[in-house]
A and B are shown apart, each in its own frame.
Chain A
Amino acid sequence: MYVAVKGGEAAIANAHALLADRRRGDRSVPALRLDQIVEQLALGVDRVMSEGSLYDRELAALAIVQARGDMIEAIFLVRAYRTTLPRFGYTRAIDTGAMLVERRVSATYKDLPGGQLLGPTFDYTHRLLDPELAAGGEVAEPLQRASDADAMPRVSAILAREGLIEPDGDMPQDHIPGDITREPLEFPMARDIRLQALSRGDEGFLLALGYSTQRGYARNHPFVGEVRIGEVELELDVPELPFAVPLGSARVTECQMVNQFKGSTKAPPQFTRGYGLVFGQSERKAMAMALCDRALRATEFGEDVVAAAQDEEFVISHSDNVQATGFVEHLKLPHYVDFQAELDLVRRMRAEHDARENAGKAEEKREAAE
């Protein structure tokens, strides 16, 4: 006796109850508070803000808890919330030259105005597991000095003074920066759109592509002109007011990659740029983004497009991890209607194949008999 499967709704509700249970885990262990996550898993929070493209630490922390620490799921939660928010307006372009810098390193100059600032970095830590952290020991207060009154000039500005590097990317005078969350993507795209897509692109994907350029798949001879991390002011123009209204500040990581360029018939030899900018603190992502940005400018410089990292449709169409995870994981949805259609076809074709084989054998036998 066959009874069709039913009760999808109850199954889903039960599955979600189990999920909630597993998320909470052992009840004798205190539940995580959002402020603990914001304070102590800050780089995870930064990644969720950056790829979720929503600057809100508390929401990112909530998403991380809700996703049980699955970062792509957390990014997805934030995106699905962000997309419903109305737009009040667009801030002025941030000025990273006026950043309140906590970390700034340059690989191209030993010393430079503003100096090299290591800041809170994993660099030069020995990757030895630290049992004291597990014991929850006291942490000493770090040394801090008052910031210099002068802002730190960007390395690209220093190079630009001599004309050694191409100017900052310029868009036509009347160009209004695009918004990939409000307008459909169309290829080929302008660099502002591309940079937006890269900035919210998957860290792992961009890392792998950036790495591939270093290993010779579209090598572009990069130097880290500068990586800087710190707070930038956000300002909004309000039509009724004669001045820009400060909205607060955001922590960002910026990477200016300096790349060789041999010049063309149109332009003298000069360095070119790859640019990376992400919310929060993530040098890895900003640097990978800068490598990809430069690789994607191949056609602009008349370079041959030979590698994946230079292929705009390939990179941008596949960089979004929320899209990627959805489509990969949708394969577990039922496909039995399609599968039935294929099954039917394969059965028919096999039957025809067997019939032909048998006919052939019969023919052979008859010939042999004759």
Chain B
Amino acid sequence: MTAQPTDIATYNFAYLDEQTKRMIRRAILKGIAIPGYQVPFASREMPMPYGWGTGGVQVTASIIGPEDVLKVIDQGADDTTNAVSIRAFFKKVANVAVTTDTAKATIIQTRHRIPEHPLTAGQVLVYQVPIPEPLRFLEPRETETRKMHALEEYGLMHVKLYEDIARHGRIATTYAYPVKVEGRYVMDPSPTPKFDNPKMHRSPALQLFGAGREKRIYALPPFTDVVSLDFEDHPFEVQTFDQPCALCAAENVYLDEVILDDHGGHMFVCSDTDHCEKRREQGHRGHLAPETPPALEKREPAQ
């Protein structure tokens, strides 16, 4: 269009107005004070759709400062489109430094994964949460689930696990695997694979969870006990992979399956792209890695 843009609509710095940020920070503080408790907050419409990380974006927007270094991942990867989009949003509205390097980030916003590189004190991991209520699919009513949390009535949660074992011989929940926080609240860790559950336990980082559409914030302060629900004779266990990453040969990491052709050919590679690249830079080679180290082009200017 040739027309000059008008000033008919303008936006505040970092998108959210300061009152809103304060309101969200109060909810975060309450969440930190009561680990695992879902704090209702007046979620705002965000300029990305509900279900696309609006809760995480609101939390990040409320805590981010000019000195922060932001990393955004989706499915463990820095370069999935939604991660790129959210990172671009914060570059645009807050002009903060961004990075793909887990160790260098002060705030990491994530959807569906916890980075493989251990988090450290001072870092904040912000989860995007679609359905914060771990009891939701057992009991659809908010009025009832809130009462169940208040009265610590969690028998139903184990009924679900019991049914899994009765039907499948094992607990068939593979992601969004419910945890008990500090021996009190049952919490949904967001749809991370259960592989990542042990990383939440006593993490030195602050973990914040934002559910925009469902209007809830919850938190795990550093070094919080996070225990995955299980039975004594069917203990919680994480996924294992039969083979290492095809690119960096990492073991004991979460792998994505990549389809190579339409004859059933596939390979397994690190879901955490930063972790994989770091390892390849250090000379680790998987059996399908390129002959020469890939041109590790800087994927995104880290300002």
A–B direct touch, CB within 8 Å, in complex?
A: yes
Contacts of B8 in A (CB 8 A): 58-59, 62
CB atoms of A334 and B213 under 8 A apart: no
Contacts of A83 in B (CB 8 A): 20, 44-46
CB atoms of A337 and B40 under 8 A apart: no
Knowing A326-B213, A327-B130 are in contact, say whether A80-B47 is a contact too (CB < 8 A).
yes
CB distance from B10 to the nearest CB of A (A): 9
Question: What is the chain A residue whose CB lies nearest that of B111?
Answer: A333
Contact bitstring A325-362, B, C-beta under 8 A = 1, else 0: 11111100111111011111100010010000000000
Knowing A9-B300, A184-B43, A345-B172 are in contact, say whether A337-B193 is a contact too (CB < 8 A).
yes
Residue A134 lies at the interface, judged by CB distance under 8 Å to chain B: no
Residue B11 lies at the interface, judged by CB distance under 8 Å to chain A: yes
Bound: A341/B193 CA distance, A: 6
Stretch in contact with the other chain, from B74-82, B118-126, B200-208 = B74-82
By the criterion of a CB under 8 Å from any partner CB, how many residues of chain A are at the interface?
A: 57
Knowing A2-B246, A4-B269, A86-B19 are in contact, say whether A341-B174 is a contact too (CB < 8 A).
yes
CB atoms of A338 and B174 under 8 A apart: yes
CB atoms of B300 and A59 under 8 A apart: no
Bound: A83/B40 CA distance, A: 18
Knowing A31-B1, A336-B75 are in contact, say whether A81-B9 is a contact too (CB < 8 A).
yes
Contacts of A135 in B (CB 8 A): none
CB distance from A80 to the nearest CB of B (A): 4
Contacts of B75 in A (CB 8 A): 334-337
Stretch in contact with the other chain, from B50-58, B154-162, B180-188 = B50-58
Contact bitstring B157-184, A, C-beta under 8 A = 1, else 0: 0000000000011101011100000000
Knowing A1-B290, A184-B40, A185-B215 are in contact, say whether A80-B79 is a contact too (CB < 8 A).
no
Contacts of A55 in B (CB 8 A): none
Contacts of A81 in B (CB 8 A): 9, 11
Contacts of A337 in B (CB 8 A): 75-76, 112-113, 175, 191-193, 254, 256, 271
Bound: A323/B299 CA distance, A: 33
Residue B264 lies at the interface, judged by CB distance under 8 Å to chain A: no
Contacts of A86 in B (CB 8 A): 17, 19
CB atoms of A313 and B256 under 8 A apart: no
Which of B49, B172, B256, B269 has the most C-beta atoms of chain A within 10 angstroms of its own C-beta? B49
Question: What is the chain A residue whose CB lies nearest that of B11?
Answer: A84
In residues 89-108 of chain B, which contact A (Cβ within 8 Å)?
A: none
CB distance from A361 to the nearest CB of B (A): 20
Task: Find A80's partner among B46, B112, B239, B288 (CB 8 Å cutoff).
Answer: B46
Which of B8, B41, B45 has the most C-beta atoms of chain A within 10 angstroms of its own C-beta? B45
By the criterion of a CB under 8 Å from any partner CB, how many residues of chain B are at the interface?
A: 76
CB distance from B43 to the nearest CB of A (A): 7
Knowing A181-B42, A333-B74 are in contact, say whether A327-B50 is a contact too (CB < 8 A).
yes
Residue B283 lies at the interface, judged by CB distance under 8 Å to chain A: no
Residue A6 lies at the interface, judged by CB distance under 8 Å to chain B: yes
Which of A2, A9, A313, A322 has the most C-beta atoms of chain B within 10 angstroms of its own C-beta? A2
CB distance from B100 to the nearest CB of A (A): 11
CB atoms of A8 and B84 under 8 A apart: yes
Contacts of A327 in B (CB 8 A): 50-51, 130, 213
CB atoms of A326 and B258 under 8 A apart: no
Bound: A86/B16 CA distance, A: 10
Question: What is the chain A residue whose CB lies nearest that of B76?
Answer: A337
In residues 246-272 of chain B, which contact A (Cβ within 8 Å)?
A: 246-247, 254-258, 260, 267, 269, 271
B residues near A (Cβ < 8 Å) are 1, 3, 8-9, 11-12, 15-17, 19-20, 40-47, 49-52, 54, 74-76, 79-85, 88, 111-113, 130, 140-143, 168-170, 172, 174-176, 191-195, 213, 215, 239, 246-247, 254-258, 260, 267, 269, 271, 273, 288, 290, 294, 297, 299-300
6 A-B residue pairs with Cβ-Cβ distance under 8 Å, sorted by A, are: A2-B290, A184-B41, A186-B40, A325-B50, A342-B175, A349-B169
Q: Which 4 A-B pairs have the closest CB atoms?
A: A326-B50, A330-B51, A326-B49, A341-B174
A residues near B (Cβ < 8 Å) are 1-9, 11-12, 24, 31, 58-59, 62, 76, 79-86, 181-188, 313, 317, 322-323, 325-330, 333-338, 340-345, 349, 352
Q: A326-B52, A334-B80, A337-B76 are in contact. List 14 more A-B contacts (CB 8 A).
A: A24-B1, A31-B1, A62-B9, A84-B15, A184-B41, A184-B42, A186-B40, A187-B141, A187-B142, A313-B142, A327-B213, A330-B130, A334-B74, A337-B254
